[in-house]
Amino acid sequence: MTFAIVSRTLLVLLLTVGHVGLWVWLYNRINATGLHRRTIKRIEKCIVLACAVIPIALVYLEFRSGDSGTGFSEWSAAFLKRSLWDATTYPTKIYGTVVLVFTVVFGPIWLAHRPAFSIAKHRFRVLQRHVDPPMHRENPTWVSGSLTRQCLKLPLNEILSVERNIKQLMIERLPEDFSGMRIGHLSDIHLTGQLTADFYRTAVEWVMAQGIDVLVVSGDIVDYKHAMGLLSPVFGELDPAIPKIFVLGNHDRAYGLVDDVRIGLCEMGWFDAGALDLKLWTPRGLLKVYGNELPWLRRHSSPEIEPLAPEEHASFVLGVSHSPDQFEWGRDRGCHLLLCGHTHGGQIRFPWIGPLVAPSWYGSRYASGVFHRSPTLMHVSRGLSGVHPLRWGCTPEATVLEVVTALAKNGTPRSNVYQST
């Protein structure tokens, strides 16, 4: 009897985890599509509703009293005496089977790609890390919106505790002259009007002051029309000697601000890698930049990958994509480094488990961090902000990436290591 109770309780727990996992899985994939934000929001509501209503409905069917149902005491007696299968109604049988199959098939894959297993620990090290104290308590001038002000009252909400970090990345095939190059990487700025320009500008100026060769913003820059006025105070009047590059993200498209943001940044001297591939001549040599705004924004013409001219072989190839789902695209173009955002690190990271929700075809696998698949190293930023001012265990970040040559075990540069898979 004890064994029956334990095993059946474990099975119910497994089904509960599988049920939540199934709908989170769907939620992540829907948000990875290029569907319009309004459509995605509608589907999201259906997903949340289904996740809440299905178990309630099934429990009701199991425990209802009357001619066609059983009361709780009859059901629990049946549960213990007969097999679980016999004790349940057909809707529970069908849905339970679906959930169980999903859990058995996808559960091990999900576990195998937890951050502890998938982050390329051998390809980077953190040189410096500083987390701002919760500045909202001392510096309320950073908050201008009531939603953020209310959310900041929640215990341990990290939305303003920006981590400023410098990470060293080990890059294979790195052209010698680019060793030591520093790239400022910011993502998911989300100008909503909830935070003042000071908040964002503090992060931008810190990155600019770290001796960077180039600054990159990988999408989701402005959310609402009324926040367009923040663009210039945040991104204007920066050192003109440092190239500044951007691509747009899904939020820039959501409210029809694509042209406004592109024009606004270009007028301030920024390079639009989403519209055109770039060749920038820097003191270190030629920096080739490929931009990608898929699946939300498509270029009018999508040129074939140009073969490198002889004088370009010593160039550094940088990919910039809003979504980390473009990892394969970056590899196809031979990017040394691919910079992404979009997933916000999951916004809530649980101890041991890590993030659960991330808008990607890969779920939370690439929620944030450094990932390697030869020949490309991908850095996914946790982003600087978000439309939902909620973060736990997942501080916003402003990052400087310093690239150095990856060494083989015998100490020689990994210059000839190029695997096609």
Q: Which residues bind Fe ion (CB under 5 A)?
A: 188, 220
CB atoms within 10 A of CB 320: 29
Tokens representing residue 339 in the block: 């910079």
Q: Smallest distance from the beta carbon of 262 to Fe ion, in angstroms?
A: 17
Q: Which is nearer to Fe ion, 188 or 397 (CB)?
A: 188
| 38 or 300: CB nearest Fe ion | 38
In angstroms, what is the minimal distance from the CB of 170 to Fe ion?
A: 28
Residue whose CB is less far from Fe ion, 21 or 355: 355
Q: Cα 348–142–156 angle (5° rounding)?
A: 30
Q: How far apart are CA 262 and CA 225, in angstroms?
A: 13
The nearest distance, CB 165 to Fe ion, in angstroms, is 19
CA 356 distance to own-chain centroid: 11
The half-sphere exposure of 27 on its side-chain side, counting CA atoms within 13 A, is 21
CA atoms of 14 and 46, how far apart (whole Å) = 23
Nearest Cα to Cα of residue 206 among 176, 163, 142, 267? 163
A 10 A CB-CB count for 263 gives: 11
Residue 220 or 397 having the CB closest to Fe ion? 220
Residue number, 158 or 220, with CB nearest to Fe ion? 220
Q: Which is nearer to Fe ion, 197 or 222 (CB)?
A: 222
CA 93 to chain centre: 36
What length does the chain have?
Answer: 421
Q: What are phi and psi of 26, to 5 degrees?
A: -65, -40
Q: Closest separation between CB of residue 66 and Fe ion, Å? A: 50
Question: Smallest gap, in angstroms, from Cβ of residue 28 to Fe ion?
Answer: 14
Nearest distance in Å: CB 190, Fe ion: 6
Q: Smaller CB distance to Fe ion: residue 132 or 220? A: 220
Quote the least distance from Cβ 385 to Fe ion, whole Å.
8
Q: Among 183, 212, 218, which residue's Cα sits nearest to residue 291?
A: 218
- Two tokens, residue 331: 């590899």
